[in-house]
Structure 1
Amino acid sequence: MSDPHVDMLYRWPTAARFDRRVPKEKFYRHGTVTAAVRDKFVADVQRITWAYKLAESTVNLAGNTTVPEIQIFEIDAKSNDVTESVLTAIDRAIPFPIIFEINRGSGETQVTRMVAAHKQLTSGAPKIGNYYSTGWQPARTERRPLPASITLPALYTALLDPLTPVDARPGEDVSEVAARLHTVRKLEREIAALERKLGAERQFNRKVQLRRALKTKQAELTVLVER
């Protein structure tokens, strides 16, 4: 399994630099942003920058309908962090997969974390999975080169792979990884519920049944998270 708090940042290609500031108000007007989420934008966000555009024209990798481009958004936090509801509102407003870099502090004390969710584009609203993040790290840390990839969908899968608690399997695309993550989360909840029941159960026969069910679920989880 990948470490969901691995410390790393990518070195985005200079040719893909977009560097456009995006007013927060643009996201207020999109869809059904609630007053509570609008308040989070005001409280959490100092600045939003559309920093890089990874596309065939900038990185010479072909996209498709599921990953036509990959956008990199930098968000400067007003204080400690930016809540997921803000990230979700941005993700829903932009019709491309997004990798976020959140910055807090300034100068020598500035730290950054990279965060993203598996985002599946559909004919309607995009399907956005759980958000996964690196740990906070010095903004001036040495950045890694982009993973070697021959298409944008493959690059997107590779970019997200270190963030998520399951490793992408050879040939697996982002929708397949997202589906497996969804099942992993479901199994983890079921296992936790069975463990609680087992701890509270006093009847021997029922304990045996619960242990058997628990072992089955644990075995299913092992198969899903192994490479």
Structure 2
Amino acid sequence: MTDLLYRWPAAAKFGRPVPKAKFYEHGTVSAAVREGFVADVRRISWAYKLAEATINVPGSAAVSEIQVFQIDAKGDDVAEPVLTAIDRAVKTPIIFEITHGEGTGRGIRMTAAPKQAGSGTPKVGTYFTTDWQPEDVERQPLPTVITLPALYTALLEPLIPVSARPGEEMSDLAARLEAVRELEREIASLERKIRTEPQLNRKIEIRRALKTKQEELEQQR
């Protein structure tokens, strides 16, 4: 994790409160997730809208805008199913900033999941997050890019344990991340098999397969 927070442009400030019930209207939100909204969330603010009209950076069909939602937590944090429900209700990518605590003890973290919009409900990946930091921590300027898809990739890249390749958009980075995770699972399984396999010839075969998977993993990273 990292301690990065971004300094969002004043021109992109939106500052609109969003009722929690608004997200229940989109798709099927289970009773447990509704309870999560009630238990975890004090208020939700649609804080910034990063778009061509606000920051003069052109978008695309895949990333026409990027939203920044600020959530004030009632307790220590906000559960991921609540974030996922919000993400699925909004077509465009969202960067979340979650705050908790009171007074000088207030903390903040940034979290987001790679998101791919389609004709139906957006596909939301795994959430990645910064560490908790003091709310008044110094923020960093936005990455210098020329398109919103590139900005989306650059905003999330510090959070994700895979480095973006030149020109790589978030959809490709997310797919590569899933491939990395699958290879890591396969490697862990092969390593367990080596430890328990009694036959030497089978150990040699498994080691050969393990080496192949490790090489594939290095290529994906």
Shift of 1:29: 2.2
Aligned pairs (5 A) from 1:44-59: 44-59=40-55
Moved over 4 A (4+): none
Q: Structure 1: which 5+ runs fail to align? A: none
Post-superposition Cα deviations, 1:120-145, rounded to whole Å, max 9, x if no partner, equal: 11112211111111111111110000
Aligned pairs (5 A) from 1:1-227: 5-225=1-221
**Aligned-partner SS, 1:161:** helix
TM-score calculated relative to the size of structure 2: 0.98
Q: Give the letter aligned to residue 48 of structure 2.
A: Y
Name the structure, 1 or 2, with higher relative contact order (CA <8 Å, separation 6+). Answer: 1
Tell me if the contact between 2:12 and 2:49 (Cα under 8 Å) persists in the aligned partners.
Answer: yes
Shift of 1:107: 2.1
Post-superposition Cα deviations, 1:55-111, rounded to whole Å, max 9, x if no partner, equal: 111100011110000000011111111111011100000111000011111221111
Q: Number of residue pairs matched?
A: 221
Question: Over the residues paired in the alignment, what is the CA RMSD in angstroms?
Answer: 0.8
Question: Identity percentage over the alignment?
Answer: 64
Taking the aligned partners of 1:71 and 1:83, their CA distance within structure 2 comes to 19
Taking the aligned partners of 2:161 and 2:76, their CA distance within structure 1 comes to 24
Taking the aligned partners of 2:52 and 2:216, their CA distance within structure 1 comes to 39
TM-score calculated relative to the size of structure 1: 0.95
